[in-house]
Amino acid sequence: MTIDRRAARTAWKDRDTEWTVYVARTGGQAWVGVSTNVAAIQNRLGFTLRLGDCRTKGMQAAYDGTLTIEELEILDPALGPLARQDAIKDRRAHWCAELDATPIEA
């Protein structure tokens, strides 16, 4: 069985990405971020927290052994790159104010 690498690469580049606003909670505090792969973010944050090497401001100090990630909303996939950046800033700020959370800056 052979794999057409060129076709696989093209399919990967042309895939639809869902930008998702999420909240990460630990130690009674919340952080809001945006990602195209929330499962990967949960793995990354959980791994760095367990190692004691999380670089998200204040999260390591609040870590109590638990981490929950919840998807809040999915941004419009029709947005262009500049409009998406504005939407990310706007929605992150909205959810931070709504949940009294700290933003996760990428």
At 37, list the tokens.
């792969």
Counting the structural domains of the chain, the total is 1
Domain span at residue 88 reads 18-103
| pLDDT of amino acid 106 | 63
CATH number at residue 70: 3.40.1440.10
The answer to whether residue 11 is domain-embedded is: no
The answer to whether residue 40 is domain-embedded is: yes
The answer to whether residue 60 is domain-embedded is: yes
The answer to whether residue 7 is domain-embedded is: no
Mind listing the pLDDT tens digit of every residue in the chain (106 residues)?
A: 677 888 888 887 777 778 999 999 999 999 999 999 999 999 999 999 999 999 998 999 999 999 999 999 999 988 888 999 999 999 999 999 999 999 998 6
| pLDDT of amino acid 8 | 83
The answer to whether residue 69 is domain-embedded is: yes
Task: Report the alpha-carbon distance of residue 4 to residue 8 in Å, rounded.
Answer: 6
- Write down the pTM of the prediction: 0.84
- Three-state SS for 104? coil
Strands 29-35 and 20-26: antiparallel
- Neighbouring residues of 38: CB distance < 8 A, sequence distance ≥ 6: 20, 22, 69, 71
The answer to whether residue 56 is domain-embedded is: yes
| pLDDT of amino acid 4 | 86
The answer to whether residue 12 is domain-embedded is: no
Residue 35 has phi, psi (to 5 degrees) of: -155, 160
The answer to whether residue 51 is domain-embedded is: yes
Strands 102-103 and 29-35: parallel
At 30, list the tokens.
């919340």
| CB-based contact 28:35 (threshold 8 Å) | no
